Amino acid sequence: MSAFVDADQIRARFAAALSDMYRAEVPLYADLLAIVGDVNAQAGGTDEARIAIERHGAIRVGTAQELATMARAFAVMGMEPVGYYDLAPAGVPVHSTAFRPLTEATLAANPFRVFCSLLRHDLIGDAALRDEVAAILARRQIFVPRALDLIAQAERDGGLGKGDADAFVSALLETFRWHSEATVTAKTYQRLAAQHRLIADIVAFKGPHINHLTPRTLDIDAAQAAMRARGIDAKDTIEGPPARKVPILLRQTSFKALNEAVRFADVGGRHTARFGEIEQRGAALTPKGRALYDRLLAQARHGDTRAVFAAFPDDLPTLIREGLIYVRRGADGLEPITYEDFLPVSAAGIFQSNLSGEARRDYATASSQAAFERALGRAVIDPFALYAAMAIMPEPVTN
């Protein structure tokens, strides 16, 4: 028998520790948890144990080296990079992946995932500033030595024993912690922020502080209303598809970033970094379903979203018959497989809502999955392949 702690357990402990840390750092997060808890109790339903602990977080790293080491740290917790998200078309100078567990069993054990973005240095227009960014980032180490040692140990031995797993969780937590002391002067911060506010957030601090931790709700419209009723400054629109009878993909909303006191290397100042978000998850779409969704989303930009999305079937038999969603066998017949990933347009909306006042950038650039994968040190996993492996293929339709 192995004396190693299961990766699922390390992930569960890390997610719980992160939640405790974020609750202490951002009290509004505790309010969101209370609201979501109430709404979910009202809504009832399956998977209650999973949903009560289900969270996703987000971090933004500055260099290939940081991303590659992050990937090794997540691997210790059974989290692998799934999908490639290009945020440049939305005017955000990053590209991203989501680290998450891959299989039905490991998702059921603990579905914790982290949306992880990498700064695109090539999108920093000012060459002198680009060099300075590289120099600032080269000077920082976002992992404490103990975390690096334990990652290497886990890789060498194939796992971590009880004491080491606990030590790993607390050492890695340091990388996600907020530091109000910036590493740069106020003037450098201003120059970074003038290039893009997100660049200042990524470059000016000691590490990639977690910027939100999102609980999952079973009824986002009710949760959004409850946020408003409590006076929480929620953004106006819910990202993703409009409300439906059979939820698909992902719907998200957030409250605006906190304006926080920071200390630059020379003087005091302010920075907006951390915010709150809630999400509702629906069925994973097949490539055919996703193509339809993307087509409608493009149309909805010029029209009434609700009317446009009426073209997406909203009853289970039709969704299955037309091969639009992935399904598995459940307690009473076929049931949708939950979408476990993110949406680039929604992510862009979440980024933008926290950059109020930021001029909209226009990055005329090709997406760069190959460059992202070189930085990561491996290829990202195709989410469709994961859903297909979990799904049963219903009888083909003959008409």
Residue numbers of the site for ligand OOG (CB under 6 A)?
58, 60, 115, 117, 211, 252, 277, 342, 346-347, 350-351
Name 19's Cβ contacts closer than 8 Å, sequence gap at least 6.
55, 213
Interface mask toward Ni ion for 189-218; x: CB under 5 A: -------------------------x----
- Amino acid letter for position 314: D
Residue closer to ligand OOG by CB (options 61, 319) is 61
Closest CA to 186 of 119, 258, 124, 271: 271
What residues between 255 and 284 interact with Ni ion by CB under 5 A?
A: 277
Residue closer to ligand OOG by CB (options 283, 343) is 343
Distances (CA, A) of 315 to 128, 240, 311: 56, 18, 12
- Amino acid letter for position 60: R
Residue closer to ligand OOG by CB (options 117, 188) is 117
Q: φ and ψ at 393, to 5 degrees?
A: -90, 115
Residue 251: contacted member of ligand OOG, Ni ion, none (CB under 5 to 8 Å, by partner type): none
Residue closer to Ni ion by CB (options 241, 313) is 241
Q: What is the smallest separation between the CB atom of 347 and Ni ion, expressed in angstroms?
A: 7
Residue closer to ligand OOG by CB (options 249, 308) is 249
Q: What is the smallest separation between the CB atom of 196 and ligand OOG, expressed in angstroms?
A: 13
Residue 19: contacted member of ligand OOG, Ni ion, none (CB under 5 to 8 Å, by partner type): none
Q: What is the smallest separation between the CB atom of 62 and Ni ion, expressed in angstroms?
A: 19
Size of the residue set binding Ni ion (CB under 5 A): 2
Q: What is the smallest separation between the CB atom of 99 and Ni ion, expressed in angstroms?
A: 13
Residue 117: contacted member of ligand OOG, Ni ion, none (CB under 5 to 8 Å, by partner type): ligand OOG
The answer to whether the beta carbons of residues 285 and 249 sit under 8 Å apart is: yes
Q: At what angle do helices 64-76 and 162-176 cross, to 10 degrees?
A: 150
Q: At what angle do helices 64-76 and 369-376 cross, to 10 degrees?
A: 60
CB atoms within 10 A of CB 123: 20
Residue closer to Ni ion by CB (options 86, 164) is 86
Distances (CA, A) of 251 to 37, 108, 277: 17, 21, 11
The answer to whether the beta carbons of residues 345 and 297 sit under 8 Å apart is: yes
What are the residues binding Ni ion (CB under 5 A)? 214, 277
